[in-house]
Structures are given as structure tokens and as C-alpha cells.
Structure 1
Amino acid sequence: MVARTALVALAALTVGAQAHQVFNHPSVWGLKTSLENPLNQGTKNWFCAGQKPHTGKGKLQIRAGQTLSVPVTCGEAVGNPDNAVQICSNDINGFHGGGGCALSITSKQNPTIDDFTVFSVAAKCPDLGRKVPFQIPANLPAGEYVCSWSWIPNPQNAAAEYYENCFDCSVVSDVKGTVTGGIKLRDHVFGVPGFPSDNQEGRLYKNAFKNGAQKIEVSGGGAPVPPVTTQTGHSTRKPRSSSTKAHSSTKEHSSTKPTHTAEPTQEPTENPEPTAEPTVEPTAEPTAEPTAEPTAEPTAEPTTPPKKCHKNKDRA
């Protein structure tokens, strides 16, 4: 009985010694408890933990400009991330004192380590089975990608180890384009064949990166164009309005000068009116009065008296 109890205790210690950390999401390629194991210099097919591409379930949705909270837990909590804090509390040493975790991305569906660009780092990661918040760059373009979670543990609590899980992801964003620049993950791989295994303290992600969203470069797209077009339209209109004012003010000044020149020209034209008045009045008055008066009076007076004379003679 005592021997059996000792064997159970030894098994528990063995499990505790093997318990490390894993990106605990269904989209992880080949998700299982053994993915918690570190990738070290003696590991074969270390890239993406040696898992075949696209063997996870679904895709992890990432929203540009927001915070993504994901479970980083011990392997025993795989498939049960909501209870990870309780499940992993028996293996505090498995967190190796944190050290910081990174998320990387590539548009290639069968990538190599050279294809990944780091886009977010969480300095407090792992965090005893709790969900870890990752801040996402606002200019991360929309699309279907392959993502990577990686972790270098604190050298005070771990050997020269490196952890990495790959998973399918999709980005929801108003930005269109392709990630063409940024910090390459290949420059921050540690403790595996072909990569550095010294200065572990300096290579911790919490020391090598700033905490939060990382700077990335995007080409072939960018922010929506309409606001830029609208601003251009306003900026185009302003010069037109100012030029109109300039022309109108110029016309005012130029028209003011010709107005003085035109007024003298019109004044002589208006001054002949007095010339026209005397021309009409003298011509009309002498012609109408002398012609009408002498013609009417002499004709009427001599015609009437003779008739009267004839009538008197007849009466006599």
C-alpha cells in the first residue's frame, strides 16, 4: 500500500514537471496536452511544434485596433480554458516566472519561420492560467492568415527553452492591404537549432519589446479613401473661392478705373441732350404756332361775315 502511494505521488510530480504552457484555443494546429512542451535544441520539427498546417478547429477572429484576450494555460487545461486557473494551480512552476508572449502573423498558408511578423506582445504572460490581453494594431489589414504564439520563459525559472503554437486566424478590419514590414519573429526565436541560446534574460519578450501593439507596415491599401477625397474636395474648393474673390476684387479695382474713364465718355453723350432739347423745341414751336394760327383765324373770320351780310340784305 505504501509502495502504491509512493508511485502515485511520483506520477503526480512527473506530470507537474512536464506541465508547461500552451495557447489554449481550438484553432491551434494539433491542439493537445503535449503541445505544452518546450521546443529546445534537441527538438525535431520544432517549427509550429511540428504540427501539420490547418489541423485546428475554426479560426481565431482578431479585430484591428481592439484588445484580444486569449487563454494561455497549462496543458492539463486544454479543452477547458475556463477552469484553467483552478486546474493549473497545482503547477505554479510551470509558468516559469512569465517572461512575456508574442503574437505573429503571415498571409502565407504554408509558412516558414521567416514569414511571420510580430504584431503584439503581452509582457505579463503567461499569467497563471488567466486570459492574456493582446493589443491589436489599428492598421492590421483584413484577411485570412496563419498566426503564431511564442514564449521565452524567465531564465531564473527555466532552462534555454522556446514555446510556439500555430493557429488559423482571420482579421476584421477596415484597412485593406498586405503586411510588408515590421519586427520579424525569426529574430526573436530562442534555444532551437540555428538560433541563439545565450542572453536569455535580454531576449525575454517583456524586455526585447514594448508592451502592446507593435508597429507594422502595410502596403497595397490602407485606410478608407472617402475621407481623404472629401478633404481634398474642400481644399480644392477653398482655392477656388479664394481665387474667385481675388478675381472679383481685381475686377472691382479694374472696373473702378474704367468707370472714371467711362463716365466722361457718357457725360458728353448725355450733355448733347440739352442740344437735342433746343433742337426739338424751337423747331416744333415756330412750325406749329405760325402755321396753325394764321391759317385758322383768317379763314374763319372772312367766311362768316359775308354770310351775315347776305342775310341782312334778304331781310331788308
Structure 2
Amino acid sequence: MASTFAQIFERRGGCFRREVCKGRLWLQLDSGRVFFSSNATSKPTSSIVLEGGSCSRGEERNSLVVEGRHGSTSTRIIFPTTAVLEGWETALTLHQSGVIRQINRAEDVWRIADKLGEGAFSSVYRATAQEGEKVVALKILPKRLLPSSSDRLRVFREIETLQFFGGDGVISFEGCAESNDSFFIASELCEGGTALDVAQASEREGPLPEQKISECIRSVLLCLQRVHLRGYIHRDIKAENIAFKVKGSLRDTRLLDLGLSLHTDIQAATLETVGTDGYAAPEVVAGKPYALNADVFSVGALTLLLCWCALRGCWDFPMY
């Protein structure tokens, strides 16, 4: 059900100003943002007046649909949020700068070997670069699994963020490309697998030692601290997104999958319900404003998962 203007803008954490003038709502359009004019006595420049208006979420996850009457005419306007506008600007920059190479197929750039893992939108393979012979982890994201613009913006956001961090607590970026069918993101290869692999191995190899869990969580928190100090929220901390550089060691950790990561300056998007069930903080699930501490809650959920495997020595955690 559509919410009133007042409700929707209040929920967006004060990112927009609101004024009501004689029962009418004044909207001003400025660089794709929507906000109420601070002038409640006269019609502001470049604005429209809608009466009986309502707001709802658009088909695209990050769009805002405004509907109402403009005089005797019913009006429907779709506004992208700040996060979407910045996302498309990022995509344009990545293509124009040549960061995203245009290729016909993955084999033009990499020799693909065995599959390392897969998720809802991608599969990851061990691959070797044709130039330089460097062994990497190659994430392949078929476009058919990314039907909406929001899904594809997540890919561009991940590429930009990987470049920005340059391996500082995050998986190192080794290049990317795009074909007619897929996106390709190459990153450093972590031979130790993920925290999910380690947890599942407890069923075969016995309970996880407490010391190992302590090493893992300490390393994860140090990586997360680096991300937070640079002003980013990861927003999808979970066992599948924690990788270990060396097989058998849980000390040298990398954070994976920054497609949902967000700079804290983009306040409007810190009301998005994102992340993974069981790991997402209560305020995220409830659609309330959240910040860096949402990631810390997710680390707590990861700790619970590993402790469960340590106590029971088997893989039957309710979260999965």
C-alpha cells in the first residue's frame, strides 16, 4: 500500500525537506533528487504541485514513484534516488576509462579451470590470465540473472569498490570485462576457501578448535575496521563472503562481494533492506536507519555459526 508523502520522506532519514502549504505538497526537482520546498508561501522555481499525493517503491528497487493530481490531470513521476544516480555515473566512468574491457568471450582473456563456488547470481572459477599467466579467481555473472538495472548497478559498485580498496582488507582486484552475455570480475585467488567451507568441514574433520574461531573472528574484525575507517558499510557480511588466503590458516582473511557495500555519505540508501537472512541486523530487517554497527551484528552471527560447529562438531546450523 502506498504511503503518504510525509511518511515516506520521514522514513528516508531526513534526506529530504518537507513542507505542507494549505493541504498541498510542494515538490522541487533538483539533479534527480526530490524534496519539498522550504518556501511554503509561494510556488518555487522549477517545481510542480501535486494534491492528494502518495509515494511508493517503484519496480526498480531504488526508485521512488510519486503519484497525485496536477490540476485536473492525474500525474505519475518516477524519481531515481541519489544512490541510483551515482551508480549510473560510476558505470559510465568505468566504461569510458577502459576499466571494463569489452570482449567477445571470457576465453579471450583467461584460461578457465575448475569451479570454486557459486551463488545466486554468479559462479567463481580458478583461471589464468592469458597475459602475464597470473592465476586468479574469476567471477562470472550472466546478464540473464541480472535483469534489472539495480542488479547491474551492484556489479559496477563492486568493481568501483574493489578498485578503491586495492586489497586493504578486501580481496584484491585483478581486472574485469564485459561481453554481450556476462560480466567478469577477476580477483586474487584465496586457496583457503571461505568461512562457510570451514564450517561445513567440521562435519568431516570434527569440531572447530576455539583458538581457530578466535583467530578467524579477530582477522574478520580487523578487515572490517579498515573498511569502516574508509567510510564504507559492507552490508553483506556472512560466511560465504569471508575468504582465507592460505589453506589451513584462518588468520589471513579477505572480505568478498562488495556489491552491496555503500559509502555512509549516501544516507538515503541506509534504509534499504539488504543483506542475508540470519546475518542482517534487526534495524536492517525492520527498514530502519542503520550504520556501521549493522556489519558488527553480522560478525556476531558469523561467530555464532562457527561456535555452533565447534560445540556440535557437525554441520546442521538452523541459519542454513
Q: TM-score range by the shorter chain?
A: under 0.3
**Which structure shows the bigger proportion of residues in strand conformation?**
2
Higher helix share: 1
TM-score by length of 1: 0.23
Bigger Rg over Cα: 1
Higher relative contact order (CA 8 A, sep 6+): 1
